Amino acid sequence: MNKKYSIIFVLVILAAVTMAGCSGSSDNPGPTATADPGSGSGAGTSTNALFDFDKFKVLEYKYTMTAEGMTTVTNYRLEYSNDNYEGAPAKHTKMTMTSSEGALTVVDLYTTPGGDQTLGGHMKMMMNNEVLWESDIPADDASEYTNSDPTYGVDEDFENDLFNSMAGTETVTVPAGTFTCNKYSVNVGGIQETWWIASNIPVPVKSVIAGEGTSTTMELVSWA
């Protein structure tokens, strides 16, 4: 799956969460990290991989989206586990999106243990503890929701291009803490992407994706 389309689907899902509430400028919700990573001890990454899947089962990011003069903030939490789906072993991905306006979207997706086939899932949208909409996700449609996982669809060609485009070293503060990072910047089809990577963190610390009148900032909240 091409990474650009994966990012676009993330934005679509986050926009849907925001539309369930009241759009407009919002304050930083100030989430607290569940892990204590400390300060980064040197920049860089030992491999050309944005996500080291062997080192986390829970991941949370804060997304700040700006478009047409409006800013919205959404927390995006992912939980990965082994489970069962309709009596068969499966991998379970739970995505919980919470907007600063109070909208909550929960997506449960199931794939085969090897991750090569999407089996199905369930999606629910809520506002003020009231269910606005929920539905099962058939297998034929589930792959689109799988693409809304920001760890999904990051192909090796993109990672190689990114890690060959170092733009310096910076100290970055995000909800998870303060880290010394290598900064990488690359243009993908007119979309400028900048990523901050710390050597001792198994996931990106921060990214900014800007183009076509929109900007999305992704900041690490926690991992475990």
171's tokens: 């100290």
The pLDDT score that the predictor gives to residue 146 is: 62
Spell 38-50 as b/e; 16+ CB within 10 A means b. Answer: eebeebebeeeeb
Q: pLDDT tens digits, residue range 134-154?
A: 999 888 876 666 666 666 556
Question: What are the sequence ranges of the domains in the chain?
Answer: 3-33+40-223
Specify the CATH number for 3-33+40-223; select among 2.60.40, 2.50.20, 1.10.287, 1.10.10: 2.50.20
50-94 pLDDT, tens digit per residue, is 888 889 999 999 999 999 889 999 999 999 999 999 999 999 999
The single-letter code of the amino acid at 223 is W
Q: Please name which of 128, 64, 147, 58 lies closest in space to residue 96, comparing C-alpha atoms.
A: 58
Residue 143, pLDDT score = 63
Q: What pLDDT is recorded for position 3?
A: 42
Q: What is the pLDDT of residue 153?
A: 54
All residue ranges of the chain with pLDDT < 70 are 1-48, 142-155
**Beta pairing partners, 194:** 185, 208
Rounded distance, CA 151 to CA 221, Å? 15
Query: In this structure, what token pair is assigned to residue 70?
Result: 């409006």
Widest CA span in the chain: 50
Unique residue bearing structure tokens 């900064």:
183
